[in-house]
């Protein structure tokens, strides 16, 4: 739930605090203010897509799977239609430095997965919500991973 809140309403610092090492690939030349501007734009596109401010989206449940002493997966359930939320919002976590950190580097909402068999496979609907990619700012790759675009 902390990752969902940080991603949807937190600051860049909040997001960095919940991200594990695999997600810390921000070039030193990218300023926090540039990331804040980008985050504001992404959230505006998401709010438009969801039809409400991100802070108004209600969390209804949290599911967990594959939990060990040092790793696990969690999926936040939202009070939104599945067609909007996506069908693959599982996020991986690891216990790093005495805290649980997000290690899959992907958004907690909007994930889509499909395959020819109808079963799940990695994918993303993040680009469908209009999240812009630009040089040196946080963006989304085709697998739904949160990345830095060179």
Annotated domain spans of the chain: 2-148
pLDDT for the residue 95: 94
Ranges 24-33, 36-45, 73-82, 98-107: which has the least confidence: 24-33
Longest distance between any two alpha carbons in the chain, whole Å: 44
CA distances (Å), origin 119, targets 87, 88, 115, 141: 11, 11, 6, 21
Query: Do the beta carbons of residue 9 and residue 1 sit within 8 Å?
Result: no
Nearest-angstrom CA–CA distance, 117 and 25:
34
State mean pLDDT over 65-74: 95
Per residue in 5-63, pLDDT tens? 999 999 988 988 898 887 876 676 778 888 889 899 999 999 999 999 999 999 999 99
What pLDDT sits at residue 133? 34
Task: Write phi, then psi, for 19 (nearest 5 degrees).
Answer: -75, 140
β-pair type (138-140, 146-148)? antiparallel
pLDDT given at position 62: 93
Q: Model's pTM, two decimal places?
A: 0.69
Chain-wide mean pLDDT for the chain? 75
Strands (E), the chain: 59-65, 71-78, 91-96, 99-102, 138-140, 146-148
């Amino acid at each position: 739930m902390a990752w969902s809140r940080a991603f949807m309403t937190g600051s860049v610092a909040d997001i960095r605090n919940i991200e594990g090492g695999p997600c810390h690939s921000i070039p030193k030349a990218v300023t926090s203010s540039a990331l804040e501007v980008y985050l504001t734009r992404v959230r505006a596109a998401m709010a438009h897509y969801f039809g409400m401010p991100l802070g108004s989206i209600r969390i209804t449940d949290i599911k967990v799977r594959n939990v060990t002493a040092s790793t696990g997966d969690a999926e936040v359930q939202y009070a939104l239609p599945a067609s909007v939320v996506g069908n693959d919002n599982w996020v991986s976590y690891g216990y790093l430095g005495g805290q649980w950190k997000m290690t899959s580097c992907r958004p907690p909402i909007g994930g889509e997965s499909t395959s020819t068999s109808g079963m799940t496979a990695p994918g993303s609907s993040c680009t469908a919500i209009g999240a812009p990619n630009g040089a040196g700012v946080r963006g989304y790759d085709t697998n739904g991973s949160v990345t830095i675009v060179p």
